[in-house]
Amino acid sequence: ELKFMERCIKETLRIYPSVPFIARVLEEDVIASNGCVIPKGAPAHIHIYDIHRNPKIWSNPEKFDPDRFLPENCRNRHPFAYVPFSAGPRNCIGQKFALLELKVALCGILRNFKLEPVDTPESIVLITDIVLRAENETVRVKFVPREK
């Protein structure tokens, strides 16, 4: 079932969502927390990157902790606190396929190699574009063959 791998993938997507923000057009008037009315038809930008790092939602949000996704830790979490593939009627139709493909690829790699970081997370400069990416387009990882 690869439950631990699944939790690691979810935690990675929480810290580094592939698509860091999404845009929608409001279908009805919305009253913001400060009382302002945002009219129907206005564009809304949802910053997934910021939601996933909000300390009001996630304790110690910069820390990599796959146990955040244990069933008992998800039970009381707001359903829109974790949205790496968006949510609701316009969510990513390929999310289950993407996660399955990622698991298959990782199993193939991890069966044959140990992965060691070359770059530290602190040394990687992220660019928020249509997709979240490293500034120089490179994140270096060393593949160390496993003994058979």
SS3 of 5-51: HHHHHHHHHHHCCCCCEEEEECCCCEECCCCCEECCCCEEEEEHHHH
Tell the residue number behind the tokens 């316009």, with chain if given.
90
36 is in an annotated binding site: no
* C-alpha to C-alpha distances, 58 to 39, 64, 69, 143, nearest whole angstrom: 30, 11, 11, 32
Binding-site members are 92
Binding-site members for heme are 92
